[in-house]
Amino acid sequence: MTSANEIKYSFPEGFWWGSAASATQTEGAADVDGKGKNIWDYWYEIEPNRFFDGVGPANTSQFYYKYKEDIKLMKEIGHNSFRMSISWSRLIPKGTGEVNPKAIEFYNNVINEFINNGIEPFVGLFHFDMPMELQKIGGWESREVVAAYEAFAKTCFELFGDRVKKWFTHNEPIVPVEGGYLYDFHYPNVVDFKKAVQVGYHTMLSSAKAIKAYRELKQDGKIGIVLNLTPSYPRSQNPADIKASVIADAFFNRSFLDPSVKGEFPQELLQILKEEGLMPVIEDGDLDIIKNNTVDILGVNYYQPRRVKAKENLPNPEAPFLPERFFDNYVMPGRKMNPHRGWEIYEKGIYDILINLKENYGNIECFISENGMGVEGEEKFRDENGIIQDDYRIEFIREHLKWVSKAIEEGSNVKGYHLWTFMDNWSWTNAYKNRYGFVSVNLNKDGERTIKKSGHWFKTVSDNNGF
């Protein structure tokens, strides 16, 4: 145990130490107890080859069956909070209509188990897992789906809001836009910028409507959104590079950050959409709903920076319209890398985000809702006692936390740090390729859990509220 006088980086009392996960990535039990299909179940059925090693969403970490064991382990490694999500298609199998009693029982049991173990559940409503029945009518392209989501959110608040006091409308809402409608890495695999804009707009509208519904119930908790904020750094201070970074930031960060916190969309983005004839369909009253229902709290997911430069070549006029029409991605010489995942590691990015929120977004209450290091082939780091010696992950967390601590010293309103993720989980098309957990999961031994070195280290950090 570290003694108090050895602690160099301490965190405010009540700091939220924990991790995050999602329903589809951890629950398993993909077609039992009345759960309906979501887009992942369906896509895996029709294109299993798109998933690493052909592993689908039924083969996840089986939290559905092992939640008691898992919550006990969370307690053991120092969690006082944990972010989960509710599977829309488990709770309301067709996306609308009948509510599944088995799902109510499961989520009640999970929430109660957290509370009995002194771990506060933070609950997300939408984490990339559109019910398939609603995707058939257009998913987020459809106003009907916005209404269905609002009803789903309200059902969750009514069922669980007596105990859950931290709600999040969406996780990384830009990702289904990018993956499903621009870059072909999520179902429905559409490449169509106009549809992408409509999907993003409806997602934002659905978030505001859920916030409105929550406040009308007066449940005395907080409701927010989780955004993956990726600072856009220009190659140089040349005005053309700076302009490229401002546009990239408007597309990928401010598109959801500004309406969520300020109730309005960024002018740079609106100008481009208007000039290109790509504005979404907006109905009367929508913008007032967005303006008047901003978030109480913001979750910040941060993994790596975005580095951009001015366009080197004119875009191909025949190519699909993409944000990269306005900038090129830039590989910075000498950057620090995660060699196992191919992502840049830039710890100061987390500080830059927090200071930006402090200076430009009213210092909104926030927390680091995801940060983490994926490693392929992590088994090679397992020692003779069966413990994965993931010193690289400890270093990754520690170096990011140093910058979080600096932001706090400078007045940032950041309240916690959640690692992605608690245990190795199924990661969309990557399945189990990259491992992120504090706890390893052995799929060949009925999902056997083993705490990694980083999990034991995290407990000392949580116990000491610093390191």
The dihedral through the CA atoms of 402, 405, 411, 415 has a sign that is: positive
Residue 388 backbone dihedrals phi, psi, to 5 degrees: -75, 120
List, by residue number, the catalytic residues: 172, 370
How do strand 366-370 and strand 297-301 relate by DSSP bridges?
Answer: parallel
Nearest to 241 by CA among 193, 306, 286: 306
Residue 446 backbone dihedrals phi, psi, to 5 degrees: 55, 35
Number of other residues whose CB lies within 10 A of the CB of residue 410: 12
| Amino acid identity at 151 | A
CA angle centred on 352, ends 351 and 354, rounded to 5°: 65
Residue 122 backbone dihedrals phi, psi, to 5 degrees: -100, 130
* DSSP codes joined into one string, 350-373: HHHHHHHHHHHSTT--EEEEE---
- Sequence length of the chain is 467
Quote helix, strand, coil % in the chain, to nearest 5: 45, 15, 40
Distance from C-alpha of 443 to C-alpha of 449, rounded to nearest angstrom: 9
Number of other residues whose CB lies within 10 A of the CB of residue 342: 11
Distance from C-alpha of 19 to C-alpha of 419, rounded to nearest angstrom: 4
**DSSP SS3 for 322:** coil
Q: Calculate helix-pair angle for 101-116, 143-160, nearest 10 degrees.
A: 50
